[in-house]
Amino acid sequence: MTRACLIGLALAAATPAPAADPARPNVVVIVADDLGYADVGFQGCKDIPTPHLDALAGGGVVCTGGYVSHPFCSPTRAGLMTGRYQHRFGHENNPAWLPDDKAVGLPLDQVTLADALKKAGYRTGAVGKWHLGAHPAFHPNRRGFDDYFGLLGGGHQYFDHNRFKTDPDRARQEYFIPLVRNEKPVEEAAYLTDALGREAAAFVEAHRKGPFFLYLAFNAPHTPLQAPEKYLARVKDLKDEKLRTYAAMVCGLDDAVGAVAAKLREHGLDRNTLIFFLSDNGGPVAVTNCRNTPLRGAKGQLYEGGVRVPFVVSWPDRLKPGRFDHPVSSLDIFPTALAAGGGEAPKGLDGVDLVPHLQGKAAGLADRTLFWRTGGGQSFAARKGPLKYVRVGKQPAELYDLAADAAEAADLAGKRPEAVAALGKELDAWNAALVEPRWQNPTPKKK
């Protein structure tokens, strides 16, 4: 791959950029939707086969203390896409499907990772779930992505994509809108997860001369629980029908990741591609019968089961395979990718470049403080070192030592009041710099 070739690609994309560096990696960010903490092989799962994800983890760094910045969908994606706590700009709830409302979505004054990497000369593509606003102003093509294929809302049917209908419940309308390629509706015959894997692999093929940034955001294994027989057959020994369908959807996600990995290998891109894999939040145990073992809680909660997720960073040319046990965050993806790509970082990022830490060349993550807030202040959490502070509603603050108690079973608040006070003070200072949510979560109509 020559310098002239890369410069020609950047000029062809009409993107002003510095001289291209052939050593710059491609960047791929893969996000699962509502994946259980214990439901992939590299996390110890025995009854759902995930060979492609396990291979990715085996060749990368498994971050055992991997977190997202929110316990449910859209706010996590807003934080990941901006590298900032989404509470700083009011994106604290899921946006309703409101195509005529320019106020409900990722604020237009926020710089996205796609904006930054495109400016640095990357071809940018998004495949899959968007969920960052329904108004055309929020469309991926207007938020830094050159190419887009997928579902613009928070979910979709996995079959019968072309049976569009009007649903009187705005909270479900987005599940029945057309899939789109860029801004044009498309018909699609394939199982949705298969289609996303196909399109992601096609993006790699089309832009293999790079550098490229691919954001592959699955809606699997989020509801509705729908899977084809070819995946159901792989988990036929699971007797719980709900869990079996969910598990089959995880198999489909794994195959789609495998399609992208195979395309990278085909063109010799696998070693110099920086890949992140994570879930957008913890699994919704009561909804899909997924497993967050050994963690307490589930999607929507600030206990570990809501915000601690499977998290892998792979860059074979720069990172040795292994485990990393200090806390890392989805907020770190933006600065890590941008540092690797040679882009200029916008001001106000909350994450850090993980590469020197994962290489053992930098310290400081062991004692970093991570924060969480839901509902504009309904619940809070903070983690510093092994200690986790949780305050749910008006209940007294709780304290857990995650090094000894990942399940958050033993509340130490009564024994460590000084730690409770210190973490509470730090959290209150963080919260004082935030803004109120710009909108509330959409509420489904009662039947």
Where in the sequence numbering do the catalytic residues fall? 73, 131
CA–CA separation, 228 and 368 (whole Å): 44
Going by C-alpha positions, the residue among 76, 95, 151, 141 that lies closest to residue 115 is: 141
- The answer to whether the beta carbons of residues 341 and 117 sit under 8 Å apart is yes
For Cα atoms 221, 250, 112, give the angle at the middle one, nearest 5 degrees. Answer: 55
Strand partners of residue 214: 28, 125
If 0-12 CB within 10 Å is exposed, 13-18 middle and 19+ buried, where does residue 388 land?
buried
Q: How far is CA 89 from CA 55, 102, 307, in A?
A: 37, 15, 20
CA–CA separation, 367 and 387 (whole Å): 10
Encoding tokens for residue 74? 């859209």
Non-local CB neighbours of 316 within 8 Å, separated by 6+ positions? 59, 60, 270, 271, 272
Non-local CB neighbours of 1 within 8 Å, separated by 6+ positions? 22, 209, 210
Encoding tokens for residue 324? 């990393």
Strand partners of residue 329: 67
